[in-house]
């Protein structure tokens, strides 16, 4: 995607009939873009769109060289283009499977970070003990156990990042061994055996549908360790222990016994091929697809070039752009698996009377995004330019190297929970409105799409990609993201970690119905 930045606006593709405001523009401003000048008929906020040429009613509106919707009235050059004159509409995307498979990137073999090499060979970027609630009924007990350790843990055990309570609202009121039950098992097991978790214990109530026995047997759970030292998971039942207070004391005692072993680890140089990067965009704006997302795409390509893995997710937020991804699929079968997930989502939302185009939130629209197609075309830029190597179900273990896709909702906490359960050991999160997201036990790097928001929220943002609007090359910012990723993987704390954010954001996707 070629960009040509001016003082006022960005024209992204030769076929585009609009440009994107690089700063707030007043009515009457003369804007030069794509070799022509237009006079704005009204004010255009930062990240919003302006027409560069006449667009007839029902004509396609083009951004990124792709259709983002249809004009609902005649639009003149210099007009603001947004929800009042643009709608998503319906149009066919031509699926051409594996027709544009990119060549493999030039390998990068000399980049490393300081990580934790686990006994099973996997690599962590953090070192937590997790207290995992199997059902909402044991959530408070799990929190009480973790809180007993507080910040004092790192003082006594400097290599332990903390004791983390993973709680949720599910675990019962679901079909036993049904799709929702098995998916929750995948999430809980994915966090239990995550390489950023040095040890864990499971706490249940005792009578829930989501039994610990089903979880352990269905997922083959054991405590982390070498094959010779692996033991069954530590399991506490509130009912068997004799109530809340006694379970808390048992839990505290178990964690105390785990701490010396978990603390007896050291960071060591690890090849960047062990990075599994989860990419997310939330609180997006009209510049997400202009600055931060394509820059993160550059960083994703660098991770892949190192032999690592970059995960794109949020199926409802690739809707309208999936045809671009299937062309890059390494095989027709992989491309069809992605389209199958799109069809599933159309049926899933349709059965519930929900429109996928309702996905752009009020905040997204205030930031300049108008339709799901526009949002999606900007969102897929996070996936860079390499071949699509695999498509995963929600929370499935990610084992393939390269660029992959995971089927998740667009809702950020649920989406990232799925990627982390799949093994992501770092997350890069782009935002234009200012999402303050953390995701323990994995660090979350926040990348701002525009400088005004970055300056306003410096305590929460890790990097400003808004400098691209002032002329800094996308490639340069992408490399900055990659270098920051290596630093964070080596232990540098992100802004969310500095503020101890990331425990409440654990949010397994609930498929429903609740019984």
Listed in sequence order, the residues at least 6 apart from 274 whose beta carbon sits closer than 8 Å to its beta carbon are: 115, 122, 123, 308, 425
462 occurs within a structural domain: yes
The tokens for 333 are 């079968």
102 occurs within a structural domain: no
Distance, CA of 474 to CA of 316 (rounded, Å): 26
Residues 171 and 68 in one domain: no
The number of folded domains in the chain is: 3
Residues 309 and 242 in one domain: no
Residues 344 and 479 in one domain: yes
Residue 337 is predicted with a pLDDT of: 98
Residues 241 and 172 in one domain: yes
| Cα distances (angstroms) measured from residue 454 to each of 234, 451, 501 | 44, 5, 18
Distance, CA of 294 to CA of 10 (rounded, Å): 14
Residues 394 and 295 in one domain: yes
If you average pLDDT over every residue of the chain, what do you get? 94
Residue 512 is predicted with a pLDDT of: 85
On the CB side of 332, CA atoms within 13 Å amount to: 4
Domain that holds residue 292: 269-498
Residues 239 and 367 in one domain: no
335 occurs within a structural domain: yes
**pLDDT 10s digits, 69-81:** 999 999 999 999 9
Residue 6 is predicted with a pLDDT of: 46
509 occurs within a structural domain: no
Contact 158, 231 (CB under 8 A): no
299 occurs within a structural domain: yes
| Phi, psi angle pair for 245, to nearest 5° | -60, -45
Residue 232 is predicted with a pLDDT of: 86
Q: Would you put residue 320 in left (φ > 0), alpha (ψ -120 to 50) or beta?
A: left
Residues 469 and 374 in one domain: yes
pLDDT surpasses 60 at 314: yes
CATH number at residue 37: 2.30.130.110
Residue 360 is predicted with a pLDDT of: 79
Q: Sheet holding 197-204: strands in order across?
A: 162-166, 128-133, 197-204, 234-237
Residues 297 and 416 in one domain: yes
- The predicted model gives 371-399 an average pLDDT of 96
**pLDDT 10s digits, 463-501:** 999 999 999 999 999 999 999 999 999 999 999 999 999
Residues 358 and 397 in one domain: yes
194 occurs within a structural domain: yes
The tokens for 234 are 């530590």
Residues 310 and 205 in one domain: no
Choose one of 37, 68, 87: the last residue of a domain.
87
CATH number at residue 136: 3.40.50
| Phi, psi angle pair for 332, to nearest 5° | -65, -35
| Phi, psi angle pair for 197, to nearest 5° | -110, 115
- The predicted model gives 14-40 an average pLDDT of 94
**pLDDT 10s digits, 350-359:** 988 888 766 6
Distance, CA of 504 to CA of 166 (rounded, Å): 8
Residue 496 is predicted with a pLDDT of: 97
- The predicted model gives 308-314 an average pLDDT of 98
Residues 260 and 290 in one domain: no
Q: Are strands 268-271 and 276-281 parallel, antiparallel or unpaired?
A: unpaired
Please report, rounded to a whole number, the percentage of residues in the chain having pLDDT higher than 70: 97
Indicate the pLDDT class of residue 459, thresholds 50, 70 and 90: very high
505 occurs within a structural domain: no
| Cα distances (angstroms) measured from residue 90 to each of 94, 346, 356, 377 | 13, 13, 12, 16
121 occurs within a structural domain: no
Choose one of 247, 264, 281: the last residue of a domain.
264
Distance, CA of 162 to CA of 442 (rounded, Å): 12
Distance, CA of 358 to CA of 246 (rounded, Å): 47
pLDDT surpasses 90 at 154: no
- The predicted model gives 242-271 an average pLDDT of 97
Position with higher pLDDT, 92 vs 163: 163
Residues 241 and 273 in one domain: no
pLDDT surpasses 70 at 4: no
Choose one of 264, 292, 308: the last residue of a domain.
264
**pLDDT 10s digits, 187-227:** 999 999 999 999 999 999 999 999 999 999 999 998 765 55
Distance, CA of 185 to CA of 506 (rounded, Å): 14
3-state secondary structure of 421: helix
DSSP structural state of residue 150: T
- Degrees, nearest 5: CA angle 196-269-438: 30
Residue 224 is predicted with a pLDDT of: 64
Q: Tally Cβ neighbours within 10 Å of residue 35.
A: 8
């Amino acid at each position: 995607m070629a960009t040509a930045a001016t003082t006022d606006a960005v024209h992204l593709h030769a076929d585009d009939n609009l440009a994107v405001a690089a700063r707030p523009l007043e009515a009457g401003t003369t804007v030069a873009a794509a070799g022509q000048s237009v006079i704005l008929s009204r004010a255009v906020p930062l990240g919003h769109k302006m027409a560069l040429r006449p667009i007839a009613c029902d004509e396609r509106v083009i951004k990124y060289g792709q259709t983002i919707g249809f004009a609902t009235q005649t639009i003149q050059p210099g007009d603001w283009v947004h929800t009042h004159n643009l709608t998503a509409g319906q149009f066919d995307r031509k699926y051409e499977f594996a027709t544009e498979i990119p060549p493999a990137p030039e390998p990068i073999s000399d980049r490393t970070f300081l990580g934790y090499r686990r006994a099973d060979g996997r690599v962590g970027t953090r070192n937590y003990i997790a207290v995992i609630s199997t059902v909402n009924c044991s959530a408070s007990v799990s929190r009480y156990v973790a809180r007993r350790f507080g910040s004092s843990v790192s003082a006594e055990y400097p290599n332990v990042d903390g004791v983390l309570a993973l709680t949720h609202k599910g675990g019962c009121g679901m079909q036993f061994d049904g799709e929702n039950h098995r998916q929750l098992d995948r999430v809980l097991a994915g966090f239990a055996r995550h390489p950023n978790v040095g040890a864990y214990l499971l706490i249940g109530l005792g009578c829930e549908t989501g039994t610990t026995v089903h979880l352990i047997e269905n997922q083959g759970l054991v405590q982390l360790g070498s094959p010779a030292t692996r033991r069954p998971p530590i399991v506490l039942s509130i009912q068997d222990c004799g109530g809340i207070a006694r379970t808390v004391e048992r839990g505290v005692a178990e964690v105390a016994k785990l701490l010396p072993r978990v603390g007896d680890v050291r960071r060591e140089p690890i090849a960047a091929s062990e990075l599994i990067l989860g990419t997310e965009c939330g609180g997006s704006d009209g510049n997400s697809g202009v600055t931060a997302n394509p820059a993160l795409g550059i960083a994703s390509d660098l991770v892949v070039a190192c032999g690592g893995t970059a995960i794109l997710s949020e199926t409802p937020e690739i809707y309208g752009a999936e045809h671009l991804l299937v062309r890059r699929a390494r095989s027709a079968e992989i491309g069809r698996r992605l389209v199958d997930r799109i069809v599933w989502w159309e049926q899933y939302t349709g059965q519930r009377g929900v429109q996928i185009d309702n996905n752009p939130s009020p905040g997204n629209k205030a930031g300049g995004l108008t339709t799901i197609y526009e949002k999606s075309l900007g969102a897929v830029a996070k996936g860079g330019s390499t071949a699509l190597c695999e498509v995963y179900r929600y929370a499935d273990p990610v084992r393939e190297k390269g660029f992959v896709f995971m089927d998740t909702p667009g809702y950020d906490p649920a989406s990232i929970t799925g990627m982390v359960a799949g093994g992501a050991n770092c997350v890069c999160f782009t935002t234009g409105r200012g999402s303050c997201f953390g995701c323990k036990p994995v660090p979350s790097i926040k990348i701002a799409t525009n400088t005004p928001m970055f300056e306003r929220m410096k305590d929460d943002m890790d990097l400003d990609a808004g400098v691209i609007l002032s002329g800094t090359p996308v490639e340069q910012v992408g490399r900055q993201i990659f270098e920051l990723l290596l630093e964070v993987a080596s232990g540098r704390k992100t802004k969310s970690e500095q503020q101890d954010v990331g425990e409440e954001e654990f949010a397994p996707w609930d498929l429903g119905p609740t019984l």
